[in-house]
Structure 1
Amino acid sequence: MASFVQDLWESIFTPGPTPTLLIATNVTFAVLQVVLAGLLIATYSVHFVVLSVLSGGLWAAINWFANELKVHQKQEEEKERRAQAAARQAVSSEDSETEVEGAAASSTSLKKEPPAPEVAVVATDVEAVKSTGELKHRVVSEEALSQGTKSSVSTEDEWERVSENEDGKSR
């Protein structure tokens, strides 16, 4: 029982319907139905019939939604598995486009689902780019080294020079 409560607490922070959360939901709605039936017998009020119908509808809707999410998750996993298989097949073959299209066509004809997205093959060969210019290193003074900077010119001085150059161009 303690592990169920711990699992229930952890499932609250887990996205999606977890089995522990579904069990707790179903038990809670079942107890609610029993309480509403007891109150109906005790008071003979129509209100408890209406509440019981509303509660039962909500209970069915929650279970239906959880089942739909499971079906959707299985479909997504199947699509991902097919895409990975197609990617492996495309990488391992020379004529990848024809085989990927053939694999997609055969898998869609069996289950009548929309065709799987085409998988792009990424080239693994990389060409080195030759550098055309040389790097210029700044001269570092001893004063700048003691302050922990790499340049004796401050950023403010550089901005002032840029501003002066722009002023000169506009004249």
Structure 2
Amino acid sequence: MVSFMEDLWSSIFTPGPTPTLLIATNVSFAALQLVFFALLLATYSLHFVALSIISAGLWYSINWFAAEVRLAQLAQEAEKKKEKDQEDDTRARGASVGSDTETEVLASKKQNKSEAVATGSASRLQPTELDSKRRPSTGGDGSGYGSTDSEWEKVDDTRS
């Protein structure tokens, strides 16, 4: 029992669903269902039936989510293993053939990426048809400066 509690405490700080945490969760929900059943027999209140259904739905969803997280972790581990195997194969082929070194391969990838970025940014900097059309002036001095002083001067000129 002491080792279970220690495992439970350490599983709280471990990412993902651990077997100890799942056992504790399932035992807790089973005990909650028993309490709801005992309260239903003691009071004949339908509220405990509703609470039991809600609790069962939560219990099922927690177990479903834990299974999905476990599948995602296994898929991630398999993908990492596959990438590692591909790197090992690439290194083995590179050493036997005498082709590019790992540094040269990384440098060429970096160069290809920078060329793609430069091409993409250059295409965005090209003026478009909408950019070349200017919005017509709304009148005034045409300087584009939005000062209110000149407007006050105009008002003063019209009064005199």
Q: TM-score, normalized by length of structure 1?
A: 0.55
Cα deviation digits, residues 32-74 of structure 1 (max 9, x gap): 0000000001111010000000000000000000000111111
Q: Secondary structure at the match of 1:45?
A: coil
Alignment match, 1:68: 68
Q: Which runs of 4+ in 1 moved over 2 A?
A: 121-126
Give the Cα–Cα distance (whole angstroms) in 2 for the partners of residues 11 and 95 of structure 1.
Answer: 44
1:43-62 aligned at under 5 Å gives the runs: 43-62=43-62
| Distance in structure 1 (CA, Å) of the matches to 2:16 and 2:9 | 14
The one-letter amino acid paired with 1:123 is T
Q: Equivalent residue for 1:123?
A: 101
State the alpha-carbon separation in 1 of the partners of residues 19 and 82 from structure 2. Answer: 27
Write the distance in 1 (CA, Å) between the matches of 2:32 and 2:103.
65
* SS of aligned partner of 1:16: coil
For the residue of structure 1 that corresponds to 2:101, the secondary structure is coil
Partner of 1:17: 17
Aligned match of 2:82: 82
SS at match of 2:14: coil
Displacement of 1:91 in angstroms is 1.1
TM-score by length of structure 2 reads 0.59
Opposite residue 36 of structure 1, the aligned amino acid is: F
Partners in 2 of 1:75 and 1:47 — Cα distance? Answer: 42
What's 2:31 paired with?
31
Distance 1:122 1:16 in 2: 40
Q: Which has the higher contact order (CA 8 A, sep 6+)?
A: 2
Q: Rate the CA distance shift 1:43–1:23 in 2: closer, same or farther, 3 A.
A: same
Structure 1 residues 109-149: Cα deviation after superposition (integer angstroms, max 9, x where no partner): xxxxxxxxxxxx983569xxxxxxxxxxxxxxxxxxxxxxx
Instruction: Summarize the alignment of residues 98-109 of structure 1 with structure 2, pairs less than 5 Å apart.
Output: none
Q: Percent identity?
A: 51
Superposed displacement of residue 21, structure 1: 0.6
Residue matched to 2:125? none
Q: Is the 8 A contact 2:94 2:100 kept in 1?
A: no
Secondary structure at 1:17's aligned position in 2?
Answer: coil
User: Paired residues, what number?
Assistant: 102
Q: Matched residues in 1 for 2:17 and 2:100: separation?
A: 37
Distance in 1 between the 2:93 and 2:103 partners? 16
